[in-house]
Structure 1
Amino acid sequence: MPKYEMEFSIMCGNDNERLNFWKQKNDDATGMMCNPDALELDVSERSEIISYLPDLKGKQVLEPAAGIGRFTTYFASVAEHVTAIDFVDKFIEKNKKECSNCFNTTHLVTNVMDLNIENERFDFVFVNWLFMYLKDDEIRILGDRIYQWLKPEGLFFFRESCVSASNPNRAHPHTHYRDPKFYADLLMTKFILLSQGNVAIYEQKYGNPNQLWWLYQKI
């Protein structure tokens, strides 16, 4: 088996409604962010979020819902290896093209809820705008799996739209804008909170302080 090949068990059962919603989106920043201001926000948002991340040199990184590679290319530039997952094939194809000069990436087309990875595989899991598209019970299941996939003292970073959409005037379907306490209560028994904050560019542009991020460490 090649060094970076993994034994994934891919099962059926994608949520067709969610999948069809994303298949209709363009494979660009506007499609990923569901925001007509995406071209203006994209670079600033990514730079800001990356500034909150830990040192990933020599790390094994898992990126569920990786989309077209807005963050994958950064991870590939600093980490030992990156596994990027998305359930929309055209997004993963775009992601592969963005990472075409990288030789430390694995790309998979599957629903993260249908993913089975061996325990303690990764040093770092990065989730951006995923939980708000999942049901409460799916998040609980995925939270447990992320805990299992992480190595001892592994790190978990996630960012979500809480309370309202990133642009409060443009909420879109299939989303749950939860109270941030939901996430804190969910993770407190398995993870230690290292840092947290909000994505300031959205507060500056829309007066929205509820684009939140957290960095946790596995207990």
Structure 2
Amino acid sequence: MNKNIIIAGVGGQGILAIASIIDLAAINLGLHVKQAEVHGMSQRGGAVESHLRISSEEIFSDLIPLGKADLILSIEPMESLRYLPFLSPEGVIVTATEPYINIPQYPDEEKLMATIEESATHVPVEAGTLARKAGSPKTFNVVMLGAASPYIGIEEEELEKAISLFFGRKGEEMVNMNIKAFRLGKEQATEQNPERGCENSPYTTK
């Protein structure tokens, strides 16, 4: 099992939280994990990326080579295009559709999504709508994690365990809200591409 994941967005969108949850799930399964330091400006509104590598074998570099990413998980649509050179020919982009407009002359949203559609296999996610449905706009990033879960290579239940661990200190209500957000994201992704489910994700503690 080898998965190379780039998580992209802007500061304040919870990119490190996504990476930490995936890390917890992978480590719990005895997998090897390497995560690069965040690149770019991590203050709120600055571009952020994280390279996350998961494998059943030893990993020798924490940076993903060009053309080798299995997944670009983008919390902001324009940021997904920044990392296209890293995406493998079989790779997938999972991106939020709602922009974070932090620059002048931000691209036209319709044209932006059309460019993403033309660039690679992709799953667009209405993460803001689903986060509000889950109970809080702050679950935006966990909605995106759920949408990306069919492509991560780790069973849904293992990721949910990691969510419970990550948010456990904040109480049961926070855990349940984020589990709901995760499931809503997963549901939307599965509806769009039902052939790419967790049957391709063999790692579980069962």
Shorter-chain TM-score above 0.5: no
TM-score by length of 1: 0.29
